[in-house]
Amino acid sequence: MRSDSVIYGHDGQVVNAAWKGNAHTLLQHLREERRLTGTKEGCAEGDCGACMVLLGELTPTHDSVSWRSVNACFLPLSAVHGKLLATVESIGRPSALHPVQTAMVEEHASQCGFCTPGFVVSLYEHYLRHRAPTSVEQVHGQLSGNLCRCTGYAPILRAAESMYRLPRVARDAVADVSLLLRVRSLVDDAPSKLESDGECVMFPRSSDELAAQCQDHPDARLLGGSTDVGLWVTKQLRTLPKVIHISRADDLRAVSRTGSGLRIGAAVCLADAAIELGRDHPELSELWQRFASPAVRHVATLAGNIANGSPIGDSMPALMVLGARVMLRAGGQRRVLSLEDFYLGYQRNALRPGEFIEAIDVPARPDGLFLRAYKISKRHDDDISAVSLALALQLDQQGRIAFARIALGGMAATVKRAPATEAAMLGKLLDQATMRVASRALSEEFQPISDHRASAAYRMRVAGNLLLRAALEHAGETPTRVHCTEGAGA
């Protein structure tokens, strides 16, 4: 066995692939080395879905494999180390199409065909998760990371329903588990560090190993899902001399309920974190659904979104108003920071050399909480926000605001709390009059910029309108359209 190999399972076989550095993507490996050219390159940033494949990992009970769609374009080859991989070539056979493929053909759901393999893979994942047709909304959510420019979505949506009318074809669960166990056994016996041409990649298996590696290599780049760093490679052609993958650190992949709330490990992907957060805060469900696409949420981590520190990061406003804290670790030393204290400026945070986010703590939900999170973007699905706003208000028995937290993205160099706006609301009823006062306070403590997503005036007006929307929703009204008056966010 080569010491510089990435080991994974594909199409019933163990694959031993030569590792060629941290800039070598899974897509390049599939097309150029394996000649599996059904997987296409479109946008090279995880937006179009042409490069979609499935990754398989053991379920917690170890009796089956959970398959999830991912984008191969920005994912480094090393990210599939110790996992199962299924490409569009794995789905059907030359002698018999899979029901997903048959339905796409019969419904005329392909025209130029470039995007079709990605749609097939995405629908195949849906087919594995559901034994019967689902709602159109669920199918829309499944396909939110797939773009078609010529056929249109109507025949594809029909295929998503008609594929269930065909004789069902199930995966061989026993064979999948057997193959994955073989792969994991080989990986466990292989070096936990791969090196090639001056670059290296490390695979710690616990937070303790990660802490030691971060101390020894403080200049290494930590990777969760590579959904942001991968674009440094595909778009900026940057090199990554040292990389540490955190996805194999089992204790960092856990979500636990403590006496004080929810603890989310640094390697927990967004999809899983959203499920757990949704149990306590169902008001955030739309936010999580609009956070990138399923294929991105399956690998991106909540800790990675926080560490990235984008001023338009989707998770931070909601987590900030919930009082989330980041658990930081450097070697054997740990410290805790509130999320709003974690950011020091544009793409600057409080992490010290060799320090990393070990977990995120979200306090238990208090009684009387009114919670809302809004995202304004040009597209409904899979888009970057122009403005995001979250607010968490605790109301007393008289319906007055006893405690307020408001956080906004897209309005400053970082996601920020709005303390003056919060103060303007205290002791008042949650109604439109209060929110108009709060909107004026908001306009005085934020000075947003104009860019290609939105103008400063638009951002300011939208933020004020979102406060009014919250008041309307609290009153049980449907805020189909809100007009700002002078000084109320205008």
User: 7-35, pLDDT tens digit by residue?
Assistant: 999 999 999 999 999 999 999 999 999 99
- In this predicted structure, what is the pLDDT of residue 490? 32
Mean predicted lDDT score pLDDT of the chain: 93
Residue 150 CA, chain-centre distance (Å), reads 28
List pLDDT tens digits, range 364-390: 999 999 999 999 999 888 889 999 999
Residue 421 CA, chain-centre distance (Å), reads 30
pLDDT higher than 50, residue 94: yes
Neighbours of 331 (CB within 10 A): 12
User: Which residues does 220 contact at the CB level (< 8 Å), separation at least 6?
Assistant: 202, 213, 214, 242, 243, 244
Specify the pairing of strand 221-223 against strand 242-245: parallel
Q: How many helices (H) and strands (E) does the chain have?
A: 17, 20
CB 75 within 8 A of CB 95: no
Please write down the long-range contacts of 162-165, taking CB distance under 8 Å and 24 or more positions apart.
162/103, 162/106, 162/107, 163/99, 163/100, 163/102, 163/103, 163/123, 163/127, 164/99, 164/127, 164/131, 164/132, 164/133
- What's the Cα-to-Cα distance from 1 to each of 16, 21, 189, rounded to whole Å? 8, 18, 10
pLDDT higher than 80, residue 485: no
| The pTM of the whole model exceeds 0.85 | yes
**Angle formed at CA 293 by CA 287 and CA 299, multiple of 5 degrees:** 105
Structure tokens at 2: 């080569």
Compute the distance between CA of residue 478 and CA of residue 469 in angstroms, rounded to an integer: 9
Cβ-count burial of 273 within 10 angstroms (0-12 exposed, 13-18 middle, 19+ buried)?
A: buried
Mean pLDDT over residues 81-85, rounded?
Answer: 97
Compute the distance between CA of residue 189 and CA of residue 57 in angstroms, rounded to an integer: 18
CB 360 within 8 A of CB 264: yes
Compute the distance between CA of residue 362 and CA of residue 480 in angstroms, rounded to an integer: 32
Compute the distance between CA of residue 310 and CA of residue 328 in angstroms, rounded to an integer: 19
Candidates 2.40.10.120, 1.10.150.120, 3.30.70.100, 3.40.1550.20; CATH matching 99-165: 1.10.150.120
Dihedral, 193, 196, 200, 206 alpha carbons, nearest 10:
-20
- In this predicted structure, what is the pLDDT of residue 347? 87
The values of phi and psi at residue 53, to 5°, are: -135, 175
Compute the distance between CA of residue 436 and CA of residue 425 in angstroms, rounded to an integer: 10
Compute the distance between CA of residue 9 and CA of residue 99 in angstroms, rounded to an integer: 23
How are strands ordered across the β-sheet holding 221-223?
A: 193-196, 199-202, 242-245, 221-223
CB 206 within 8 A of CB 250: yes
In the three-class reduction of DSSP (H, G, I as helix; E, B as strand; rest coil), residue 211 is classed as helix
Map out the domains of the chain as residue ranges: 5-90+172-245, 99-165, 254-474
- In this predicted structure, what is the pLDDT of residue 130? 97
pLDDT band of 483, cuts 50, 70, 90: very low
pLDDT higher than 70, residue 234: yes
List pLDDT tens digits, range 107-138: 999 999 999 999 999 999 999 999 999 999 99
Class of domain 5-90+172-245: alpha beta
User: Which residues does 35 contact at the CB level (< 8 Å), separation at least 6?
Assistant: none
- In this predicted structure, what is the pLDDT of residue 356? 98
- The residues facing 395 across adjacent strands are 401
In the three-class reduction of DSSP (H, G, I as helix; E, B as strand; rest coil), residue 395 is classed as strand
CATH number of 254-474: 3.30.390.50
pLDDT higher than 60, residue 178: yes
Quote the percentage of the chain above a pLDDT of 70.
97
pLDDT higher than 50, residue 440: yes
In the three-class reduction of DSSP (H, G, I as helix; E, B as strand; rest coil), residue 487 is classed as coil
pLDDT band of 478, cuts 50, 70, 90: low
Compute the distance between CA of residue 19 and CA of residue 23 in angstroms, rounded to an integer: 10
Mean pLDDT over residues 36-56, rounded?
Answer: 96
Can you give the length of the chain in residues?
490
Residue among 405, 388, 319 at smallest CA distance from 359: 319
